[in-house]
Amino acid sequence: MLLEVQGLETAYGTSQVLFGLSLCVAEGEAVTLLGRNGMGKTTTVRSIMGLSRPRAGAITFRGRRIERERPDRIARAGIALVPEGRQIFPNLSVRENLVAFAENRSGRADPWTVEKVLEFFPRLAERAENMGNQLSGGEQQMLAIGRALVTNPYLLILDEATEGLAPLLREEIWKCLARLRAAGQTILVIDKYIERLVQLADRHTLIERGRVAWQGTSAELDADRNLWHRYLGV
């Protein structure tokens, strides 16, 4: 397994959010984390990234325990996050947002470079010298994905990557994720558009109030609309 989360418990002060959550992601897989708002999806991602310290549980990444590691060390170990709300650096240009983090952390033979990312997202190439805060929401999202890709991560985590985007831009992001998937990138994705996720991912984890409620394949999730209704409100 590339990533293995076992019995994760995370709290903000006295308010516990995750209650023994477990999930795993194998190399080359696309896995989703699904659930209604406030169920603990982002907290799970924050715990994996070391941004929220878990109270209990184990997180193993490439055979190494990381639940007590600093966030920067976790990132350098090869996990890249496309965070909720994009969070690109507004005072850096598009090119600088990429150059600052360009590094072959997974040591892949054909690494993502700044130029390759700009080729992958031609819209960003057109705006390479614009500052981050001068981009549209869709462009910011592309930049957030590109910024994660130039670190050449083993695992790419996307937290609500299509949130707040117009339908056409959303489609563009889905196409981009499909291309990454086809290229063998391991992905852990959180999103609301379950129809697209069923097409994109191999396996799914539904969480309810900080606990895993269901895990299964795309075919199983697609076949059981009751799950959609019960856990996702669809």
Partner 1 sequence: MSWILILEQSLNGLQFGLMLFLLAAGLTLVFGIMDMINLAHGSLYMLGAFLASTFVQLTGSFVAGVLLAVPATAALGMLLEVSVLRTLYARDHLSQVLATFALILIINELVRLVWGSDASLPMPAALSGPVELVPGLRYSAYRLVIIGVGLLVAFLLFVLVTKTKVGMLVRAGASNREMALAMGVNIKGLFTAVFGIGAALCAVAGSMLAPLFAVQVGMGENILIVAFVVIVIGGIGSIRGALVGALLVGVVDTIGRAFLPVLLGTFFQPRVASAAGPAIASVMIYLIMAVVLYFRPKGLFPARG
Residue at token pair 């056409």: 168
Q: Which range binds partner 1 by CB under 8 A, 3-11, 61-69, 78-86, 181-189?
A: 78-86
Look at strands 30-34 and 186-190 and give their pairing.
Answer: parallel
| Interface with partner 1 (CB under 8 A), residue from 26, 100, 219, 223 | 100
- Residue 151 near partner 1 by CB under 8 A: yes
| Interface with partner 1 (CB under 8 A), residue from 4, 9, 69, 96 | 96
**Residues from 117 through 136 that contact partner 1 (CB under 8 A):** 131-133
- Beta-bridged to residue 208, according to DSSP, are 211
| Interface with partner 1 (CB under 8 A), residue from 16, 87, 104, 215 | 87
The gap from C-alpha 229 to its chain's centroid, in whole angstroms, comes to: 24
The residue among 165, 186, 166, 121 whose CA lies nearest residue 147 is 121
Please report how close the Cβ of residue 30 comes to partner 1 at its closest, in angstroms: 21
- Residue 115 near partner 1 by CB under 8 A: no
The pair of structure tokens assigned to 20 is 């023994």
- Which is closer to partner 1, CB of 25 or CB of 81? 81
DSSP state of 132: G
- Residue 137 near partner 1 by CB under 8 A: no
- Residue 103 near partner 1 by CB under 8 A: yes
Please report how close the Cβ of residue 46 comes to partner 1 at its closest, in angstroms: 9
- Residue 62 near partner 1 by CB under 8 A: no
- Beta-bridged to residue 15, according to DSSP, are 12
Quick one: which H or E segment has residue 211? strand 211-217
What residues line the site for partner 1 (CB under 8 A)?
49, 51, 70-72, 75-76, 80-81, 83, 87, 89-92, 96, 99-101, 103, 105, 131-133, 147, 151
